[in-house]
Amino acid sequence: MNAPVDVSFFARAAKPITSYRPYWAKRFGVASMLPMSRAEMEKLGWDSCDIILVTGDAYVDHPSFGMAVVGRVLEAQGFRVGIIAQPDWTSAEAFKALGKPNLFWGVTAGNMDSMINRYTADRKIRSDDAYTPGDVGGKRPDRAAIVYSQRCREAFKDVPIVLGGIEGSLRRIAHYDYWSDKVRRSIVVDSKCDLLLYGNAERALVEVAHRIAAREPIERITDVRGTAFVRRPGDPTAEGWIEIDSTEVDMPGRVEDHINPYLTTSEQAQAQGETCSKEESSANGRGSVRPELVEGLTNTSAGASTGSARTGMDSARTEPGSARTGMGAAIQPLKFVPNPALQSKRKPPARDRCVIRLPSYEQVKSDAVLYAHANRVLHLETNPGNARALVQAHGEGATARDVWINPPPIPLTTAEMDFVFDLPYARSPHPAYADEHGKHDGATKIPAWEMIRFSVNIMRGCFGGCTFCSITEHEGRIIQSRSEESIIKEVEDIRDKVEGFTGVVSDLGGPTANMYRLGCKTPEIEAACRKPSCVYPGICSNLTTDHGPLIKIYKRARELRGIKKVLIGSGLRYDLAVKSPEYVKELVQHHVGGYLKIAPEHTAGGPLSKMMKPGIGSYDKFKQLFEKFSEEAGKKQYLIPYFIAAHPGTSDEDMMNLAVWLKKNGFRADQVQTFYPSPMATATAMYHTNLNPLKGISRDAQRAERVDIVRGDKRRRLHKAFLRYHDSNNWPLLREALKTMGRADLIGNGKHHLIPTFQPMTDGSYQSARRKNSTPVGKAVQPVAGRLLTQHTGLPPRVTGAGRPGSPVGAGKRKPR
């Protein structure tokens, strides 16, 4: 028996972004750089801009910078696009620099969330900003998207504001804000924008731009996927939608109709579309469960919250004619069946006309259980193939309004991805940022650009579903891949056009290095799936793991004329990699620059289950392959494992065991990553509510899974200290903790001990690998000649011969982090 599957949105023809008739201003041609001043506009022959983009990042015309992609995509549609980058937000004057936009403002905080960009995981202000010339901090405000929107409104009140970027994506519903330690309203309400575009927004942006250009009022643009906006109660544009009430945990959506228990056995079977005859049942090909009931069981917005209520019905339903022995033969379980008179009313409504009403902002603000429930529903409705619209009330009385969130955007096709990445990017920062020599490598260097200067983005999205990560919430879990020809063409462009290229491509990757062209075996399965991860708790049987297309690109890229080395710098999903030993061999023997970064994140099952990460056994399997193929190639290479401290679900004992594992394996973590509760992430919901949304939400304490949360500076410092067990500044804290935990046996001067009994003189400071915070004030530490600062100082430096004439260019040139 197969349950009915909704028609896949992927099967419907989404209008290609290249199929729109260009706007009349296309006659002005293509700009070498999108203008940032009136003088640049005049050189292009413009009297005004159709669209002005405001961003918290410096303007770098490169496809790894979201604002450059948005600008070039709109330019290709024929619009005149100007950019205001990192404006002075203390007044509206800087927002008037390019004049009044003819169509709308496009606002973003930048490539990073502004709060994460400005503050460390310990809520301390950062002294630097990788997206600013000279790595200077303080060039953007807190919650930049809100501030910029307010200033745009002040500058030109009647111009529509379209908000986008990752800051908007992660705040599209009421969300826990780590920095203020409270639940904040949707950014649509706080910014007072007219429209929010979340996720990869090219498709929605192009449609919205052309509709506004056609003089359609922006308040009527309410049917675009991947958008969020405000609706007032009684808005006529909401007519025709079927609302599913999910404002309470025990109201998960559609509930089964009442049944008539007085029907005979034969009538009960007939009401279910079945028969009492086993032979007739087999002949008709009928199963024991009707498709409508399967839909009712799986299609609830709260997931597991109704599981126990219906398990009894499922277990009571037995195969007609099955043999019974003993006492069970005389006892027939009571069967509840639907009333035949109501059969016509049981057909589930079409998903594309359903909207799920989440608990209101006021409810989730005061009720942790409802917050966890809303977070769970949001994540269940993220597959573009079956997601329904969401609505959340904000305010009461005269201030009441609904934040309406349309289903996620349809992913770009390979042809559309090629179109976006093949646009005429200058691949460099705007000339306004050049130093006195006209270069971008000196005092005005932009670190984020330097990092991706010689890299190629080959795909988007991630189906890993790690609960602490925001990639899935923003880019989605459907992998969008470029074609091989487009990727190779970009490598050749870097070789031929980018100044300073030495023959080393720093990365061929994306959010995850080895998910290129991976996905479900069939579109039908992909469109119907509601799993949060395709690789947890194990790799889904419906997931393709063929790394062949990626191997082909690696080989072709490294064989290009003038290419000396192609490195892989993106994070690697090693549990997928071990499914293709051929890929691991190609990677290890040709694309590792001595060190390879991977992220087991932890060794204990408790925190790993809350992260939705594989067990440490997968790391061990990959390590065996890595060492085998390194030895075959005659290379000394090392794995650099990353770990997270203080993640929800992590006990002190878990961190202690991780520290023991690190010492046993000879790792000394230099730069420590502490859990950072980003808005809307599942792990953040755990942090705020002490509940596990992955297991279902219930007010019953016996059914709901409680999560151990690491709060408070002292305990967070302890978990970080375990990762840096080798730092003598941490030894006093660790000694106290180990004694309290009854593990004083780990204190001693032997190799099997975690920390020594002696204590050298220390100043109690923390030395970070970050350039500006790496040494205490007043102490200048010069690196030892031949010593390479790495993520893990316990590893030996690479022997590359970088200083010898004729040595491979770029080998051993990794910058200290």
How far, in Å, CA of 762 to CA of 477, rounded?
Answer: 47
Contact 9, 385 (CB under 8 A): yes
How far, in Å, CA of 365 to CA of 184, rounded?
Answer: 8
How far, in Å, CA of 438 to CA of 431, rounded?
Answer: 8
- Helix and strand totals (H; E) in the chain: 27, 23
Q: What pLDDT score does 309 carry?
A: 38
Contact 353, 273 (CB under 8 A): no
Q: In this predicted model, what pLDDT tens digit does every residue of 161-178 receive, in sequence order?
A: 999 999 999 999 999 999
The secondary structure element, H or E, covering residue 368 is helix 368-380
Compute φ and ψ for 651, nearest 5 degrees: -90, 165
Peptide bond preceding 338: is omega within 30 degrees of 0, i.e. cis?
A: no
Hey, what are 583's tokens? 């890929």
pTM: 0.83
Q: In this predicted model, what pLDDT tens digit does every residue of 560-579 receive, in sequence order?
A: 999 999 999 999 999 999 99
Sign of CA dihedral 650, 655, 661, 667: positive
Q: In this predicted model, what pLDDT tens digit does every residue of 456-497 receive, in sequence order?
A: 999 999 999 999 998 888 899 999 999 999 999 999 999 999
Residue carrying structure tokens 């706007």: 23
How far, in Å, CA of 113 to CA of 749, rounded?
Answer: 45
Strand extents, DSSP E, 559-637: 565-566, 595-601
Q: What pLDDT score does 348 carry?
A: 67
Residue type, 202: E
How far, in Å, CA of 621 to CA of 574, rounded?
Answer: 9
User: How long is the chain?
Assistant: 817
Closest CA to 246 of 346, 421, 375: 375
Residue type, 148: Y
Q: In this predicted model, what pLDDT tens digit does every residue of 165-222 receive, in sequence order?
A: 999 999 999 999 999 999 999 999 999 999 999 999 999 999 999 999 999 999 999 9
Residue 643: CA count within 13 A, CB half-sphere: 31
Q: In this predicted model, what pLDDT tens digit does every residue of 278-328 receive, in sequence order?
A: 544 444 444 443 333 333 333 434 344 433 433 333 443 344 444 444 444
pLDDT over 60 at 623, yes or no: yes
Closest CA to 106 of 224, 195, 226, 200: 195
Closest CA to 360 of 394, 390, 326, 318: 394
Q: Are strands 242-245 and 354-357 parallel, antiparallel or unpaired?
A: parallel
For residue 125, give the 3-state DSSP assignment.
Answer: strand
Residue carrying structure tokens 């953007």: 140
Q: In this predicted model, what pLDDT tens digit does every residue of 692-733 receive, in sequence order?
A: 999 889 888 788 899 999 999 999 999 999 999 999 999 999
Contact 473, 172 (CB under 8 A): no
How far, in Å, CA of 620 to CA of 624, rounded?
Answer: 6
pLDDT over 50 at 65, yes or no: yes
Enumerate the H helices of 127-286 as residue ranges.
144-155, 166-169, 187-191, 202-213, 265-271, 278-284
For residue 230, give the 3-state DSSP assignment.
Answer: strand
Q: What pLDDT score does 320 carry?
A: 41
Peptide bond preceding 805: is omega within 30 degrees of 0, i.e. cis?
A: no
The secondary structure element, H or E, covering residue 116 is helix 114-118
Mean pLDDT of the chain: 85
Compute the C-alpha angle 393/399/400, nearest 5°: 25
Residues 522-536, mean pLDDT to the nearest whole number: 92
How far, in Å, CA of 291 to CA of 1, rounded?
Answer: 8
Hey, what are 805's tokens? 């004439």
How far, in Å, CA of 45 to CA of 200, rounded?
Answer: 31
Q: State how far the alpha carbon of 730 is from the alpha carbons of 399, 412, 469, 663, 717, in Å.
A: 52, 49, 28, 15, 9
pLDDT over 90 at 254, yes or no: no
Which positions ≥6 away from 206 have C-beta within 8 Å? Answer: 17, 20, 73, 74, 77
How far, in Å, CA of 228 to CA of 405, rounded?
Answer: 4
The secondary structure element, H or E, covering residue 359 is none
Residues 806-810, mean pLDDT to the nearest whole number: 36
For residue 175, give the 3-state DSSP assignment.
Answer: strand
Q: What pLDDT score does 506 carry?
A: 96
Residue type, 268: Q
Residue 282: CA count within 13 A, CB half-sphere: 6
End-to-end CA distance of the chain: 56
Q: What pLDDT score does 344 carry?
A: 52
Q: In this predicted model, what pLDDT tens digit does every residue of 724-761 receive, in sequence order?
A: 999 999 999 999 999 999 999 999 999 999 999 999 88
pLDDT over 60 at 793, yes or no: no
For residue 524, give the 3-state DSSP assignment.
Answer: helix
Closest CA to 141 of 191, 193, 195: 191
What pLDDT band is residue 802 in, cutting at 50, 70 and 90?
very low
Other Cβ atoms within 10 Å of 399 Cβ, number? 8
Q: In this predicted model, what pLDDT tens digit does every residue of 573-609 receive, in sequence order?
A: 999 999 999 999 999 999 998 999 899 999 999 999 9
Other Cβ atoms within 10 Å of 495 Cβ, number? 16
157-192: b (≥16 Cβ within 10 Å) or e: eebbbbbbbbbbbbbbbbbbbbeeeebbbbbbbbbe
Residues 793-799, mean pLDDT to the nearest whole number: 44
Give percent of the chain with pLDDT exceeding 90: 71
Q: What pLDDT score does 17 carry?
A: 96
Q: Quick one: how far is CA 815 from the chain centroid?
A: 26
321: left (phi over 0), alpha (psi -120 to 50) or beta: left
Give percent of the chain with pLDDT exceeding 70: 80
